[in-house]
Structure 1
Amino acid sequence: MFYRPEEGHGLPHNPFNAVINPRPIAWVGTRGSEGDNLAPYSFFNGVAYTPPQVMFSSTARKDSLRNIEETGVFSVSTVEYAARDKMNLTSGAYPPGTDEFVLAGVAKAECRTIPCPRVADAPACFECEVVQIVRLRGDNNHLVIGEVKGIHLRDDCLVEGRFDVTRFQPLARGGYRDYSVVTEVFEMIRPSEK
């Protein structure tokens, strides 16, 4: 099958998100004039090592984006399998000013390097300052790039000096209503390292 996105795919559901699978989930914490906000974004990844930078994109003008534009900071917490129901609850379309930390019963903590909330018991969290917000093609598509100014790692996820994802089973987004969880990890040595 081949199709041009502008002409449609002819399938019952759009396959685009299913092809980009699995996608890590950024649980984005923000604070604005109307209060704190927590929302998941599955168009998310790291984009640079030095300085460390991450990106996520918002496909609508949501509270997270407005708060980030207002303050210039945000946090990104990892989502573990055990928090899947709470994460899903924070994905709802709630009125501005709704504190999803409270709504979903997610423990909240203050970031150390930026004035922003984060998920207190997340396996890891990045404290980020905005580098750039890029308006993408299409209606209300925005790419947010942030420089990581602080990193929290939960102690039980550190094993022999390494951050061990099998300790918390990261949750990932697929297409449609699909999710997956990392339960197995294996190593491969690059040819240049042999």
Structure 2
Amino acid sequence: MKKKKCLLVIVLILVCVITSICANFFINNKNDEKIPLNHLINAINNRDVSEIPKAFHEYCSLSVEQNISEEKFENYINGISEDFGGDFQISYKIIHMSSMSKEDIEMYEDNARNIYSNYPYFSNGGTIKFDNIYNITTEMTIKGKYQEGKGNVEFTVVKIDNKYYFLHIPNQMMSVFIDY
């Protein structure tokens, strides 16, 4: 009887350990609305313009890649460096998030198909279904050796196949270095 109890305890411990490992894996590997924002902030903080197209779905990422101006991106970085110091870092927090209406989601979905129909994703048979579109308000903080500044920046993020990307529309920050 004692051996059965000991074996039962060992099995329960193993089940708990395996459950904890699985839960930790899923928690740390979720793809949420912060992913495209993180790509953008990492691109700016690391001065790496090539990171930005990763924040967009394949249906429009080629267009974004073709329309990013490296010169404008460098000018943007240099402007921040002059104002805040060359060692600046940008961080953000989401302060508000709201979903678009079903009608607006369908309109943007149709818009994407029309605008990007000649790009490889659609011309090679790719399809999209927008699960949702979110308007996200962030509070951006820029910290450098000269000063610190905060301001709100609006982003539009689309959920496609349970993954999040920037929607293919301009916003006040990215339109400085992406020609939409």
TM-score by length of 1: 0.25
Structure of greater Rg: 2
> When you count helix as a share of all residues, which structure comes out higher?
2
**What's the TM-score once normalised by structure 2's chain length?**
0.26
Is the strand fraction higher in 1 or 2? Answer: 1
